[in-house]
Structure 1
């Protein structure tokens, strides 16, 4: 079905501050719901793999199998390939491609999954259908998506509510769905899956080190990433608004009681 292309714009973009955040992700802290279902000889497709840290981790779970990381922005794959090479992982490859129209034959993979991708696409149901197409009968289609409207933090600074509202507006302006988590199971059923196994896990940053890392990340992302570009170019916010939001993230990170939870919904479906 190659040929269909993505209509939405990726809200976060690929600024170094974004890639540093994504490089924190591992198989255990991001796709733990999938791990018990993996077998050593499986063939896996990781859609929207980014810098490839999850992909490289998953390769160790299929030592007699193979994993492919697919990413629309080919330049990021240099980092992914370097990561695999440094860790001596060989049952892996990284390819540039658009998941709306995969270049694979029907029934190719044992597992097809994506992590924090469907919230950024124009047709999540269509992408899930395409994921199902290339999965083998009896194979797994899985996804994990955050829900920005369900983020909870302490202390409850007004600037962070402003950030949450602005992120929602920017993501929707780009054609995405920032509250994807609560809709993920519905999209799966619309894509034709009858047995949709649902779960929910969250990242929680409460230690001094984790709070500082998340605070510093969004301090920079608020003014320098594609999120900031979307906000200013489409007149959703002015530079001074972004500066105020960035400084609020810094203020939050300096509070000794700072805490944030980031929930993500998960689906695991078997292709009939």
Structure 2
């Protein structure tokens, strides 16, 4: 069956929801991916989780942070929502639902429907992030509604394998070729928020990191990227963007990920920019 998708999906995602991609996203929790939001939550709040993917952050929020409220997760395609619903059921979490929806057109939700609208690593994959923010603000309650955002800002690692430098260049160039904005958390996120009309006096900014450095963490992180860089979607995107000559070049990148994963003392850091806005 073809994936359900709105006719005007905003997504310019440079890959798809392969098992390796889902494993990457399923590692995410509210504590490791939305720490900037958690102090502002109350048990009875309603939350819209935009770009929820396989729902691990969504379910964590519903179970542990708003147990007397509810969380709605939306994703632009239905594929990852199968895993999201299965995860919620396995955890016995009932105050959560998952729907197909496009952040550029949240027409199914009335103005002021949610106490909180949350998006993690979403705006970088959206064709019009400013319009997305306007829609997110529209469906947040006013006054006092919260919009919580987190986007990658940079990535760095040790040792500096040339193959990983090539991977990062390909990753960014493919995203830009598809109309995305890779790593906007360093500067673009605050620009977009202001262009969307949020009051600068009613927002806070912070940074956060993921760091993969133990033997187990390196094995997991390198393993998922060894799969992702030779996946059909990644190869196709790289070829269409003209940033590699063929899959053989990406096989070399895959081998660099393998070598990095086996390096004792190696580490990989993803830095994020975080913004919380109040309506």
State if a TM-score over 0.5 links the two structures.
yes
TM-score bracket for the superposition, by shorter chain length: over 0.9
Residue matched to 2:82: 78
Q: Which whole-Å CA distance do the structure 2 matches of 1:200 and 1:57 have between them?
A: 21
Show the 5 A alignment for 1:200-215.
200-215=207-222
| Counterpart Cα distance in 2 of 1:59 and 1:74 | 20
Match of 2:138 among 133, 142, 146: 133
Contact 1:153–1:261, Cα closer than 8 Å, also in 2: yes
Aligned match for 2:224, one of 212, 217, 227: 217
Confirm or deny that 1:250 pairs with 2:258.
yes
> Once superposed, what is the RMSD of the aligned Cα atoms?
1.3
Aligned counterparts of 1:263 and 1:95: Cα–Cα separation in 2: 29
SS of 1:5's equivalent in the other structure is coil
The 4+ residue runs of structure 1 with deviation greater than 2 A are 3-9, 225-228
Equivalent of 2:115 in 82, 105, 110? 110
1:166-181 pair list within 5 angstroms: 166-181=170-185
Q: Does 1:151 align with 2:155?
A: yes
Partner of 1:57: 60
Matched, 1:163 2:141: no
Shift of 1:208: 0.3
Instruction: Give yes or no for contact 1:15–1:225 (8 Å, CA) kept in 2.
Output: no
Query: For residues 68 and 223 of structure 2, what CA distance do their matches in structure 1 show?
Result: 40
**Count of aligned positions:** 267
TM-score of the aligned structures, taking structure 2 as reference length: 0.93
Unaligned runs of 5+ in 1: none
Contact 1:40 1:64 (C-alpha < 8 Å) held by counterparts: yes
Q: Any unmatched runs of 5+ in structure 2? A: 1-5
| CA deviation profile, 1:126-176 (whole Å, cap 9, x unmatched) | 1001000000011001110012xx211000111111111111110001110
Q: What's the CA shift for 1:233?
A: 3.0
1:8 is displaced (CA, Å) by 4.5
Task: Judge conservation of contact 1:109–1:135 (CA < 8 Å) in 2.
Answer: yes
1:11/1:174 contact within 8 Å kept: yes
> d(CA) in 2 for partners of 1:7 and 1:32?
27
Q: SS of 1:101's equivalent?
A: coil
1:190 and 2:198 correspond: no
SS at match of 1:25: coil
Q: 2:240 aligns with which of 219, 233, 246?
A: 233
